[in-house]
Amino acid sequence: MSSLRERIKHAARRTYVFGRAAGAALVLGCLEVFGSPRHRRYLAAGFIAGAVLLLVLRPPIQVVPAGEVGVRINRLTGALTVVPEGPALVLPLVHELRRYSLRDQVYRPQASATAEGAAPFQTVEGLSVGVSVTVRYAVDPARVGEVARRLPADVGHDLIEPVVDGVLHRALARHTVREIFTDQRAAIQDDLESELRGLLAKDGITVRSVYLGNVDLPEQYRKGLEGMLSEELATEKMRYTLQLKEKRVKESELDADAAKVQREKAAETAASEEIIAAKAREEAMKHVLPLKEKEIEQRRLEAEARKVQRLTDAEGDAEARKIETAAEAEARKKLADAEAYRIEATGKANSAQLERDSVLIARNPLLIQKTLADKLSDKIQVIVAPPSAGGFFAGGLLGMQAQARGPAPANGNATPAAAASDDAERE
């Protein structure tokens, strides 16, 4: 223990001496360089050239493309800053910018896709099989800082590939070729997805989905498996065929029983219907007979009512005809009385009118000429003129000329006025 302490102290003294010597040499070199103007110019030119080269190789402004997120790491303090898409300030020799894609990424283990590949999967039987696996994942945007701090820069190569390959080999080694190839593929896929999602979620990686594609088997095993599957399918088909035939036989028996029961039910129903119909007819007759009797009584009463109605109508018609006959006789009597009264009144009026006309004519003899001219005006044209010496030209018609002139000449020659009077009388 003491020797170890001595060795540590001796090493510390040697390191201290070497450090002091190196510091002194560095100070002397700096004094030599800065002491000469020519060396200072060379040093300034070299510093400027190095700064320009550094700015060209590492520009201070870098761009984070769309669909990605950047993490700026300060090399002096170790601080991390998440930078969104767009321009970002990155100082040379101070900052380091790491870019992480936020898009969904896909990993396909090509070495395990075929049975003859570099790293095929092993089953429980120890057989090498190839499975086409696709893992879709993405970086959690909320944990980018944690990913940059804890995980390597190439997440896909350094984290996703080894984890996925290890989980696939371990999970598929627990299953047989038959389970992977046929009936357990969906369950295996769900188990792989759940396991990978739980493992990678701790590191800020979100597993979207896991797909198992084509299963590649060795040629001989494939042929044997296909033959075995064909035999099993044939066996399953025969089993289902026998079950189907048994079900058909049972179906026929059930159909026969159902038909028998249906016929029995139909016969019972028909008998019940006949019994119910007979009872209904018997019950109906109890109500029909009184109804028929009531209908007969109703018809008899209706006939008597019609007889009485006809007698009443006949008596009413006879009374009406008597009243009409009496009314007609009374009306004819009143018409005869009215006609006799009219004739008597008309005769009296005519007699009175004739008396008035005779008085008026006696007073005015020219009214006869005017009246005659009015009556003959539609047949002949009459000119009323003052009476000549012989009197009115139609006096002969009225007997006035005979009274005025006396008897007619013997030779039978009449005057023109008399001739006109005769013509008018003939007309």
User: For residue range 271-288, what is the model confidence (pLDDT) as tens digits?
Assistant: 888 888 888 888 888 888
Higher pLDDT, 71 or 389: 71
Tell me what pLDDT residue 59 has.
64
Higher pLDDT, 42 or 246: 246
Q: Which segment, 37-51, 79-93, 337-351, is predicted with the most confidence on average?
A: 337-351
State how far the Cα of 294 lies from the Cα of 288, in Å rounded to an integer.
10
Tell me what pLDDT residue 404 has.
45
State how far the Cα of 199 lies from the Cα of 165, in Å rounded to an integer.
13
State how far the Cα of 265 lies from the Cα of 257, in Å rounded to an integer.
12
Tell me what pLDDT residue 362 has.
81
What number is the average pLDDT over the span 69-81?
75
Provide the pLDDT confidence category of residue 412 given band limits of 50, 70 and 90: very low
Provide the pLDDT confidence category of residue 39 given band limits of 50, 70 and 90: low
What is the percent of the chain where pLDDT is above 90? 2
Q: Are strands 95-101 and 86-89 parallel, antiparallel or unpaired?
A: unpaired
User: 169 and 121 in contact (C-beta within 8 Å)?
Assistant: yes
Confidence check: pLDDT of 422 > 60 = no
Q: Which residues contact 120 (CB under 8 A, 6 or more apart)?
A: 112, 114, 128, 129, 130
Nearest to 200 by CA among 143, 145, 160: 160
Confidence check: pLDDT of 305 > 60 = yes
Sign for the CA dihedral angle at 79, 85, 86, 92 comes to positive
User: 391 and 400 in contact (C-beta within 8 Å)?
Assistant: yes
Tell me what pLDDT residue 26 has.
67
Tell me what pLDDT residue 146 has.
75
Give the model confidence (pLDDT) of 219-275 as tens digits: 777 777 777 778 888 888 898 899 899 988 988 889 998 999 989 888 988 888 888
Tell me what pLDDT residue 417 has.
39
User: How crowded is the C-beta side of 138, counted as CA atoms within 13 Å?
Assistant: 12
Place of tokens 């894609």: 101
Q: What is the DSSP letter of 419?
A: H
Q: Which of 19-28, 73-82, 114-123, 294-303 has the lowest mean pLDDT?
A: 19-28
Give the model confidence (pLDDT) of 320-377 as tens digits: 888 988 888 888 888 888 888 889 888 888 888 888 878 888 888 777 777 777 777 6
Higher pLDDT, 2 or 376: 376
Tell me what pLDDT residue 409 has.
43
State how far the Cα of 214 lies from the Cα of 193, in Å rounded to an integer.
17
Q: Which CATH number fits domain 104-217: 3.40.50.300, 3.30.479.30, 2.60.110.10, 3.40.710.10?
A: 3.30.479.30
What number is the average pLDDT over the span 202-208?
85
What number is the average pLDDT over the span 43-69?
67
Rg (CA), the chain: 77
- Please report, for residues 196, 218, 235, the alpha-carbon distance to residue 144 in angstroms, rounded to integers and kept in the order given: 19, 43, 57
State how far the Cα of 374 lies from the Cα of 235, in Å rounded to an integer.
145
Q: What is the DSSP letter of 408?
A: P
Tell me what pLDDT residue 421 has.
42
What number is the average pLDDT over the span 62-70?
73
Give the model confidence (pLDDT) of 160-197 as tens digits: 888 888 988 888 888 888 788 777 888 888 888 899 98
The helix/strand/coil state of 73 is strand
Tell me what pLDDT residue 384 has.
52
pTM: 0.41
Tell me what pLDDT residue 401 has.
46
What number is the average pLDDT over the span 151-157?
77
Tell me what pLDDT residue 22 has.
72
Give residue 62's Cα distance to chain centre: 56
Confidence check: pLDDT of 414 > 50 = no
Confidence check: pLDDT of 388 > 70 = no
Confidence check: pLDDT of 413 > 50 = no
